Amino acid sequence: MKPSKHIPQGLRKELDRLFASLIQFDEKIAEINHKYEEETKTITEYYSGVLAPIEVEHKVHSKALNELIKARTNELFDNPRRPWR
């Protein structure tokens, strides 16, 4: 359907007003989204820096635990003093 060439002036003003307000809302939404992205970027960078060394230490300790269990499997899982043997 093609738009009418003869839109009443009152309707035209109302349409223009609503389109203009939508443009303002779009601009405000874009501004807020930009601010949100900037702030979350800063927070993400901060906490990544805080977490990185902890994650490295966690990995080191996890590896050490696995190696200890592997090296001492007999002592941990093959105890001759078990009463049910």
**pLDDT tens-digit series, residues 15-57:** 999 999 999 999 999 999 999 999 999 999 999 999 999 999 9
- Quickly count: other Cβ atoms within 10 Å of residue 32's Cβ: 10
One-letter amino acid for residue 78 of the chain: D
Q: What pLDDT is attached to residue 80? A: 62
| Domain-located, residue 54 | yes
Spatial separation of the C-alpha atoms in residues 55 and 11, rounded to whole Å: 62
Spatial separation of the C-alpha atoms in residues 8 and 48, rounded to whole Å: 59
Distance of CA 34 to the CA centre of its chain: 16
Domain membership of residue 65 as a residue range? 38-73
| Domain-located, residue 68 | yes
| Domain-located, residue 66 | yes
| Domain-located, residue 79 | no
| Domain-located, residue 46 | yes
pTM of the predicted structure, to 2 decimals: 0.56
| Domain-located, residue 20 | no
Number of domain units in the chain: 1
